Protein backbone atom coordinates (compact mmCIF):
# COMPACT_ATOMS: atom_id res chain seq x y z
CA UNK A 1 0.00 0.00 0.00
CA UNK A 2 1.38 3.46 -0.77
CA UNK A 3 1.12 6.79 0.99
CA UNK A 4 -1.82 7.80 3.10
CA UNK A 5 -2.94 11.20 4.22
CA UNK A 6 -2.72 12.15 7.89
CA UNK A 7 -4.63 15.07 9.37
CA UNK A 8 -3.88 16.04 12.95
CA UNK A 9 -6.39 18.55 14.25
CA UNK A 10 -5.95 20.66 17.41
CA UNK A 11 -4.44 17.84 19.38
CA UNK A 12 -3.73 18.21 23.10
CA UNK A 13 -2.37 15.71 25.56
CA UNK A 14 -1.62 15.90 29.25
CA UNK A 15 0.12 13.35 31.42
CA UNK A 16 -0.57 12.87 35.09
CA UNK A 17 2.69 12.10 36.82
CA UNK A 18 3.58 11.70 40.48
CA UNK A 19 4.89 15.29 40.49
CA UNK A 20 1.74 16.73 38.93
CA UNK A 21 0.23 17.10 35.49
CA UNK A 22 2.53 17.68 32.52
CA UNK A 23 1.19 19.28 29.37
CA UNK A 24 2.86 17.28 26.62
CA UNK A 25 1.12 18.71 23.57
CA UNK A 26 -0.97 21.83 23.09
CA UNK A 27 -3.14 22.53 20.10
CA UNK A 28 -1.07 20.69 17.49
CA UNK A 29 -2.44 20.74 13.97
CA UNK A 30 -0.60 19.17 11.09
CA UNK A 31 -1.33 17.65 7.72
CA UNK A 32 1.00 15.11 6.12
CA UNK A 33 0.28 14.27 2.52
CA UNK A 34 0.70 10.95 0.71
CA UNK A 35 4.33 9.90 0.13
CA UNK A 36 5.71 12.70 2.21
CA UNK A 37 8.75 12.22 4.38
CA UNK A 38 7.83 14.47 7.24
CA UNK A 39 10.39 14.96 9.99
CA UNK A 40 9.38 16.21 13.41
CA UNK A 41 12.25 17.89 15.23
CA UNK A 42 12.41 19.63 18.57
CA UNK A 43 14.19 19.75 21.91
CA UNK A 44 13.99 16.69 24.11
CA UNK A 45 10.75 16.41 26.05
CA UNK A 46 8.82 18.51 23.53
CA UNK A 47 6.23 15.82 23.02
CA UNK A 48 7.31 14.61 19.60
CA UNK A 49 7.24 10.99 20.69
CA UNK A 50 3.83 11.57 22.24
CA UNK A 51 2.58 12.96 18.94
CA UNK A 52 3.86 9.89 17.13
CA UNK A 53 2.36 7.47 19.64
CA UNK A 54 -0.97 9.22 19.22
CA UNK A 55 -0.86 9.01 15.41
CA UNK A 56 -0.10 5.31 15.91
CA UNK A 57 -3.15 4.96 18.15
CA UNK A 58 -1.12 3.88 21.19
CA UNK A 59 -2.32 6.93 23.13
CA UNK A 60 -5.67 8.61 22.96
CA UNK A 61 -5.95 12.41 22.69
CA UNK A 62 -7.36 14.59 25.48
CA UNK A 63 -8.60 17.03 22.88
CA UNK A 64 -8.61 17.13 19.11
CA UNK A 65 -8.45 14.28 16.65
CA UNK A 66 -6.30 12.42 14.18
CA UNK A 67 -7.79 11.34 10.87
CA UNK A 68 -6.07 9.02 8.41
CA UNK A 69 -7.53 8.79 4.91
CA UNK A 70 -10.85 10.08 6.21
CA UNK A 71 -11.07 7.72 9.20
CA UNK A 72 -10.48 8.74 12.76
CA UNK A 73 -7.72 6.96 14.68
CA UNK A 74 -9.20 5.10 17.65
CA UNK A 75 -6.42 2.62 18.47
CA UNK A 76 -3.49 0.82 16.88
CA UNK A 77 -4.39 -0.18 13.35
CA UNK A 78 -1.48 -2.01 11.70
CA UNK A 79 -3.34 -2.20 8.42
CA UNK A 80 -2.87 1.54 8.11
CA UNK A 81 0.06 2.44 10.34
CA UNK A 82 3.34 0.66 11.11
CA UNK A 83 5.74 1.80 13.81
CA UNK A 84 9.49 1.78 14.45
CA UNK A 85 10.89 2.81 17.82
CA UNK A 86 14.27 4.00 19.06
CA UNK A 87 14.65 0.71 20.90
CA UNK A 88 14.14 -1.83 18.08
CA UNK A 89 12.01 -3.91 20.43
CA UNK A 90 12.74 -7.20 18.70
CA UNK A 91 11.39 -10.28 20.43
CA UNK A 92 14.50 -12.04 21.75
CA UNK A 93 12.95 -15.48 21.41
CA UNK A 94 12.18 -15.07 17.69
CA UNK A 95 14.64 -15.23 14.80
CA UNK A 96 15.13 -12.15 12.62
CA UNK A 97 12.84 -13.74 10.06
CA UNK A 98 10.05 -14.44 12.54
CA UNK A 99 10.43 -10.97 14.04
CA UNK A 100 9.85 -9.49 10.59
CA UNK A 101 6.87 -11.80 10.14
CA UNK A 102 5.38 -10.92 13.55
CA UNK A 103 2.88 -8.35 12.29
CA UNK A 104 1.81 -10.65 9.48
CA UNK A 105 1.29 -13.45 11.97
CA UNK A 106 -1.07 -11.25 13.98
CA UNK A 107 -2.98 -10.61 10.80
CA UNK A 108 -3.49 -14.35 10.40
CA UNK A 109 -1.30 -14.84 7.35
CA UNK A 110 -0.19 -18.50 7.07
CA UNK A 111 3.35 -19.35 8.16
CA UNK A 112 4.77 -20.22 4.74
CA UNK A 113 3.34 -17.07 3.17
CA UNK A 114 4.52 -14.70 5.91
CA UNK A 115 8.00 -16.25 5.94
CA UNK A 116 8.22 -15.76 2.20
CA UNK A 117 7.26 -12.08 2.54
CA UNK A 118 9.73 -11.62 5.39
CA UNK A 119 12.56 -13.33 3.49
CA UNK A 120 11.88 -11.16 0.44
CA UNK A 121 12.27 -8.08 2.65
CA UNK A 122 15.44 -9.21 4.42
CA UNK A 123 17.31 -9.86 1.17
CA UNK A 124 17.50 -6.28 -0.12
CA UNK A 125 18.23 -5.04 3.42
CA UNK A 126 21.47 -7.01 3.42
CA UNK A 127 20.21 -9.40 6.05
CA UNK A 128 19.72 -12.53 3.99
CA UNK A 129 22.36 -14.52 5.86
CA UNK A 130 21.00 -13.35 9.20
CA UNK A 131 17.41 -14.48 8.73
CA UNK A 132 17.73 -17.34 11.20
CA UNK A 133 19.82 -15.45 13.77
CA UNK A 134 18.37 -14.25 17.04
CA UNK A 135 18.41 -10.55 17.93
CA UNK A 136 21.25 -10.96 20.45
CA UNK A 137 23.45 -12.20 17.57
CA UNK A 138 22.86 -9.03 15.51
CA UNK A 139 24.55 -5.64 15.70
CA UNK A 140 22.59 -2.52 16.70
CA UNK A 141 22.26 -1.38 13.10
CA UNK A 142 21.07 -4.80 11.97
CA UNK A 143 18.50 -4.96 14.74
CA UNK A 144 17.07 -1.64 13.71
CA UNK A 145 16.94 -2.77 10.08
CA UNK A 146 15.04 -5.86 11.18
CA UNK A 147 12.64 -3.64 13.12
CA UNK A 148 12.16 -1.47 10.02
CA UNK A 149 11.62 -4.58 7.90
CA UNK A 150 8.98 -5.68 10.43
CA UNK A 151 7.22 -2.36 9.92
CA UNK A 152 7.48 -2.58 6.13
CA UNK A 153 6.23 -6.19 6.09
CA UNK A 154 2.69 -5.29 7.08
CA UNK A 155 2.55 -2.97 4.07
CA UNK A 156 0.64 -0.12 5.65
CA UNK A 157 0.42 3.26 3.95
CA UNK A 158 2.16 5.01 6.82
CA UNK A 159 5.37 4.28 8.68
CA UNK A 160 5.99 6.16 11.92
CA UNK A 161 9.58 6.27 13.15
CA UNK A 162 10.50 7.48 16.59
CA UNK A 163 14.21 8.34 16.57
CA UNK A 164 14.98 5.00 14.94
CA UNK A 165 18.70 5.75 14.65
CA UNK A 166 19.03 7.58 17.94
CA UNK A 167 20.88 4.75 19.66
CA UNK A 168 23.37 4.12 16.82
CA UNK A 169 26.85 5.57 16.35
CA UNK A 170 27.22 8.44 13.90
CA UNK A 171 28.67 6.47 10.97
CA UNK A 172 26.03 3.74 11.22
CA UNK A 173 23.43 6.44 11.59
CA UNK A 174 24.55 8.11 8.39
CA UNK A 175 24.53 4.85 6.43
CA UNK A 176 21.15 3.90 7.85
CA UNK A 177 19.79 7.24 6.66
CA UNK A 178 21.00 6.55 3.11
CA UNK A 179 19.56 3.09 3.30
CA UNK A 180 16.21 4.31 4.59
CA UNK A 181 15.99 6.88 1.84
CA UNK A 182 16.50 4.14 -0.72
CA UNK A 183 13.76 2.04 0.92
CA UNK A 184 11.38 4.98 1.07
CA UNK A 185 11.98 5.95 -2.59
CA UNK A 186 11.00 2.47 -3.64
CA UNK A 187 8.19 1.77 -1.18
CA UNK A 188 6.62 5.21 -1.52
CA UNK A 189 4.96 5.33 1.86
CA UNK A 190 4.07 8.28 3.99
CA UNK A 191 6.74 8.58 6.67
CA UNK A 192 6.62 10.58 9.88
CA UNK A 193 10.09 10.60 11.36
CA UNK A 194 10.94 11.94 14.80
CA UNK A 195 14.52 13.01 15.39
CA UNK A 196 16.63 15.56 17.18
CA UNK A 197 19.33 15.46 14.53
CA UNK A 198 19.48 18.40 12.13
CA UNK A 199 21.59 16.37 9.68
CA UNK A 200 19.00 13.62 9.53
CA UNK A 201 16.19 16.09 9.01
CA UNK A 202 18.07 17.84 6.19
CA UNK A 203 19.16 14.65 4.44
CA UNK A 204 15.84 12.85 4.54
CA UNK A 205 12.77 15.07 4.72
CA UNK A 206 10.45 16.61 2.21
CA UNK A 207 9.17 18.66 5.12
CA UNK A 208 10.41 19.51 8.59
CA UNK A 209 8.10 20.32 11.49
CA UNK A 210 9.81 22.19 14.32
CA UNK A 211 8.22 21.84 17.74
CA UNK A 212 8.56 24.16 20.70
CA UNK A 213 9.84 23.28 24.14
CA UNK A 214 7.24 21.94 26.55
CA UNK A 215 4.33 22.31 26.27
CA UNK A 216 4.84 21.09 22.71
CA UNK A 217 3.34 23.19 19.97
CA UNK A 218 4.24 23.46 16.32
CA UNK A 219 6.61 26.38 15.91
CA UNK A 220 7.13 26.26 12.18
CA UNK A 221 6.94 24.03 9.14
CA UNK A 222 9.73 24.17 6.57
CA UNK A 223 9.43 22.57 3.14
CA UNK A 224 12.53 21.06 1.59
CA UNK A 225 11.71 20.67 -2.10
CA UNK A 226 15.14 19.24 -3.00
CA UNK A 227 16.06 16.12 -4.96
CA UNK A 228 17.75 13.08 -3.44
CA UNK A 229 20.45 12.14 -2.70
CA UNK A 230 21.33 15.44 -1.12
CA UNK A 231 24.73 16.98 -0.79
CA UNK A 232 24.72 18.21 2.79
CA UNK A 233 27.55 20.65 1.97
CA UNK A 234 25.65 22.41 -0.83
CA UNK A 235 24.78 26.11 -0.39
CA UNK A 236 21.07 25.32 -0.64
CA UNK A 237 21.18 22.85 2.25
CA UNK A 238 23.41 25.26 4.16
CA UNK A 239 20.76 27.96 3.99
CA UNK A 240 18.07 25.51 5.11
CA UNK A 241 20.34 24.42 7.92
CA UNK A 242 20.78 27.99 9.08
CA UNK A 243 17.04 28.60 8.96
CA UNK A 244 16.24 25.38 10.80
CA UNK A 245 18.90 25.94 13.41
CA UNK A 246 17.56 29.45 13.98
CA UNK A 247 14.15 28.00 14.80
CA UNK A 248 15.51 25.16 16.86
CA UNK A 249 18.16 27.06 18.83
CA UNK A 250 15.65 29.21 20.64
CA UNK A 251 13.66 26.17 21.78
CA UNK A 252 16.69 24.17 22.76
CA UNK A 253 17.90 27.11 24.86
CA UNK A 254 14.55 27.22 26.65
CA UNK A 255 14.80 23.52 27.43
CA UNK A 256 18.37 23.91 28.63
CA UNK A 257 17.47 26.75 30.97
CA UNK A 258 14.38 25.10 32.43
Partner 1 sequence: MRRGVVLPRAAIVGVLALGWEITARSMDPLLYVPPSRVLPALGRLVALESFPYLPEHLWLTLREILIAYALAVGGGIATGFALGLRPGLGRIYAPLLGALYAVPSVVWYPSLMLLFGLGAASKIAFGFLLGFFPITLAVLAGVRQVDPHLVTVARAFGARPGTVFARVMLPSMLSTLTGGLRAGLALSVVGVIVGEVLGSKAGLGYLINYAYGLLRTADYVALVLVALALVLAIDGVAALGERRARRWA
Residues that bind partner 1 (CB under 8 A): 56, 58, 76-79, 82-83, 85, 87, 89, 91, 93, 102-103, 106-107, 150, 154
At its nearest, how many Å lie between partner 1 and the CB of residue 94? 8
Burial class (CB within 10 angstroms; exposed 0-12, middle 13-18, buried 19+) of 149: buried
At its nearest, how many Å lie between partner 1 and the CB of residue 174? 26
Strands laid side by side in the 63-68 sheet: 20-32, 6-17, 63-68, 71-72
Compare residues 46 and 154 and give the one whose CB is closer to partner 1: 154
Compare residues 58 and 198 and give the one whose CB is closer to partner 1: 58
Q: What's 4's DSSP letter?
A: -
Angle between helices 140-153 and 111-122 (to 10 degrees): 130
Compare residues 82 and 138 and give the one whose CB is closer to partner 1: 82
219-228 long-range CB contacts below 8 Å, 24 or more apart?
A: 219/42, 219/247, 219/251, 220/247, 221/30, 222/247, 228/181, 228/185
At its nearest, how many Å lie between partner 1 and the CB of residue 88? 9
At its nearest, how many Å lie between partner 1 and the CB of residue 78? 4
Q: Which residues of 186-196 are buried (b: 16+ CB within 10 A; e: fewer)?
A: eeebbbbbbbb
Compare residues 58 and 119 and give the one whose CB is closer to partner 1: 58
Q: CA-to-CA distance for 136 and 113, rounded, in angstroms? A: 26
Compare residues 91 and 228 and give the one whose CB is closer to partner 1: 91
At its nearest, how many Å lie between partner 1 and the CB of residue 83? 4
At its nearest, how many Å lie between partner 1 and the CB of residue 80? 10
Q: CA-to-CA distance for 118 and 69, rounded, in angstroms? A: 27
Beta strands of the chain (E only): which ranges? Answer: 6-17, 20-32, 37-41, 63-68, 71-72, 81-84, 158-162, 190-195, 207-211, 218-223
Compare residues 53 and 218 and give the one whose CB is closer to partner 1: 53
Amino acid sequence: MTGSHIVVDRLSKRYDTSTGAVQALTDVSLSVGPREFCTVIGPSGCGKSTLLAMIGGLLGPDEGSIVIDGRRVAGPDPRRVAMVFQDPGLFPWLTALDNVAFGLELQGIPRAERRRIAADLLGPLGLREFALKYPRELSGGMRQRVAIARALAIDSGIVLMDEPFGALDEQTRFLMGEWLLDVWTRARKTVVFVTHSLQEALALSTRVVVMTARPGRIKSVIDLPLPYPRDLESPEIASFRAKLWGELREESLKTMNQ
